[in-house]
Amino acid sequence: MDLTGKTALITGASRGIGAEAARAFAKAGAKVALVARSADAIGDLAGEIGPQAVAITCDVTRYWEVEKAVQACVAAHGGLNILVGNAGAIEPIGRMAELDPDRWGDVIDINLKGIFHGMRAALPVMTAAGGGTILTIGSGAAHRPTEAWSAYCASKAGAYMLTRMLDLEYREAGIRALSLSPGTVATQMQRDIKASGINEISRLDWSAHIPPDWPARALVWMCGAEADVFLGAEVSLRDEALRARIGLA
């Protein structure tokens, strides 16, 4: 995939899938805007990638910050062609009667409102330019309840519906909306899940998790015409045939 001349903004770019996505998009030739709350981490990553990367500190739960991040991306790189809504959280993990309501709401703010904020801020720029690609990070948790993950399951289900709504309302305006369901990935989130000791996911052996560069490479592939069959829907890396199609060993 050659993304030379394109600009990608990636939220949650300080670590895990987001950091690997930044590297993958840059390797494909794109200019990248790295967005996260951790200024030091995205600054270091931008330094690693080089002049085609810019680091933008932003809290996705605050719309005005996301809007400013999009503006900063356009100012630095001249436009915005791809948005990767990757910022996400899973804690607190626990049964509903035991959870702090404010912390539960924090997950909704990041995983659901953060996705909407990115879409809302990017749409005017993309539609004015004739189109763009907006990718979200989905989960099997969007489709089935998982013990102790009420906020995560509810927010991921909502984020997937936002992806479908975006496709419904803006495909004719040139917006490509897709969701990536990567399965379990060897990131800090999986370490937090394992530490909780609750539900079957926490008991998986570490070797069961895919490396974070796999979903990163899948996100790059999703920017091409071959992925158009998934517009308004979900790309699942649990599908081994699809993995082969993308080139993931």
Catalytic machinery residues: 152
Token pair of 201 as six digits: 């996911």
Q: Residue 104: CA atoms inside 13 Å, Cβ hemisphere, count?
A: 14
Q: Which of helix, strand or coil describes residue 149?
A: coil
Let me know: does 152 contact 90? Beta carbons within 8 Å. Answer: yes
Total Cβ atoms within 10 A of residue 124 = 11
Q: Would you list the DSSP string of 54-111?
A: EEEE--TTSHHHHHHHHHHHHHHHS---EEEE-----PPPS-GGGS-HHHHHHHHIII
Q: What is the dihedral of CA 133, 134, 135, 136, to 10 degrees?
A: -170
